[in-house]
Amino acid sequence: MQTFPSTTVSIQRDTRAWQFQAWASFAIAVFLCATGLSWLPGEALDRAFMVMGYVFCLSTAFMLAKFVRDSQQAGAGGTTASRDVPMWRLVVWGSFFTAMGLTGWGLVRMEINDAYKAFLGVSWLFLISSAFTLAKTLRDRHEADLVDARLQGRRAARQEAAAAGSAE
């Protein structure tokens, strides 16, 4: 008969209040950016450039958050080498800084009221920071769910082994 050592595993989960705050912040940031961009004065080409810039920044923020977390996990696993090739590191960081730089350049060069530029700039930075927070919150929940599923599988295997051992 096999015996299994009893261990206590603590799964760290975000509170519902934190999850609500992360989603609410992201939703508010998206709403503010969409409002600012939809009322953007000037040429249609300027509006299109800014919308593309915001979307590019948002997608690269999520990509960078995943890349950094994956690299951190690879390092925590005892290996210093990332699973990604060095060129991917350049693509991820380069695209994030390119998106931020081009969008900032487009915002600065636009011929609109300074107060409007400030609104667009602050809502844009709010969008990026809330995207990083949301990405972390989602990843933390996913990892906690994986740990929980593994523990449930181990418990089920122990119960089956104990039942099989007692039946003999």
Which pLDDT does position 86 carry in this prediction? Answer: 86
Which pLDDT does position 131 carry in this prediction? Answer: 97
User: Which position has the token pair 């699973």?
Assistant: 83
Burial of 121 (0-12, 13-18, 19+ CB in 10 A): middle
DSSP for 26-78 reads HHHHHHHHHHHHHT--S-HHHHHHHHHHHHHHHHHHHHHHHHHHHHHHHHHTT
Mean pLDDT of the chain: 88
Which pLDDT does position 1 carry in this prediction? Answer: 44
pLDDT above 70 for 4: no
Which pLDDT does position 82 carry in this prediction? Answer: 59
Which pLDDT does position 164 carry in this prediction? Answer: 80
Lowest-pLDDT range, 10-14, 99-103, 145-149? 10-14
Q: What is the mean pLDDT of residues 10-31?
A: 93
Would you say 110 and 43 are in contact if contact means Cβ atoms under 8 Å apart?
A: no
Domain boundaries, the chain: 21-167
Would you say 50 and 107 are in contact if contact means Cβ atoms under 8 Å apart?
A: yes
pLDDT above 80 for 41: yes
Lowest-pLDDT range, 42-46, 52-56, 99-103? 42-46
Lowest-pLDDT range, 14-28, 68-82, 91-105? 68-82
Identify the residue with better confidence: 69 or 130. Answer: 130
pTM above 0.85, yes or no: no
